[in-house]
Amino acid sequence: MRHLPDSHDTAEAAVTARPVADDTFREVFTEHRTRVFRLAVLMTGNAHVAEEVTAEVFARVLPRWRAGDVTDVLSYLRRAVVNETRSRHRRREHEARALARWGGTSHISIDTDRLALAEPLLAALRRLPARQRAVVVLRYHDDLSEADVAHTLGMAPGSVKSHASRGLAQLRTLLDQQEESR
């Protein structure tokens, strides 16, 4: 006769599996935190915001990791960074519209990161639409194939090609404009 686990057996297995999952997640964090942070810097153009995004991404991925839902961890982390930066951008835009609608001004001064001011590429990347920026950064900074970018962002490979082409063209234009204004 086969032994069917009761709720006590299942709970015990979950408790003993959690430390193992947490230990392997520590290894994942150690291995990928710099890569995730760099992606977040390129996506946000601000090192302080990138630190927050990186912390938030790892905090949000941990429960999914514990549940065994994450198979391709680096791809999952990249997607989480893109989603988190997009969500933060939407929240910021929503807050700005609400403040404008109520005639208020923000009491929080947004400090522009010196890195973004000093680095023309970062400044130009920030001006790209979020989807183009994500494709360009993943494709050319993280050196992912078009198929990998498509998988990470949940889009068709043809869309990746289109966004990459348009994003690079716009980057060239923005960088040329910056050069002319100097």
Q: What is the pLDDT of residue 34?
A: 95
Q: What is the pLDDT of residue 18?
A: 62
Q: Which residue has the higher pLDDT, 75 or 90?
A: 75
3-state secondary structure the chain: CCCCCCHHHHHHHHHHHHHHHHHHHHHHHHHHHHHHHHHHHHHHCCHHHHHHHHHHHHHHHHHHHHCCCCCCHHHHHHHHHHHHHHHHHHHHHHHHHHHHHCCCCCCCCCCCCHHHHHCHHHHHHHHCCHHHHHHHHHHHHCCCCHHHHHHHHCCCHHHHHHHHHHHHHHHHHHHHHHHHHC
Q: What is the pLDDT of residue 178?
A: 81
CB 113 within 8 A of CB 95: no
pLDDT in tens, 147-181: 999 998 999 999 999 999 999 999 889 888 887 87
Beta-carbon contacts of 19 under 8 Å, excluding residues fewer than 6 positions away, are none
Q: What percent of the chain has pLDDT over 90?
A: 43
Least confident residue range of 6-20, 79-93, 96-110: 6-20
Q: What is the pLDDT of residue 94?
A: 66
The domains of the chain, with CATH numbers, are 1-112 (1.10.1740), 119-182 (1.10.10.10)
pLDDT band for position 45 (cuts 50, 70, 90): confident
Q: What is the pLDDT of residue 87?
A: 86
Q: Which residue has the higher pLDDT, 26 or 97?
A: 26
C-alpha span between 17 and 99 (Å, rounded): 47
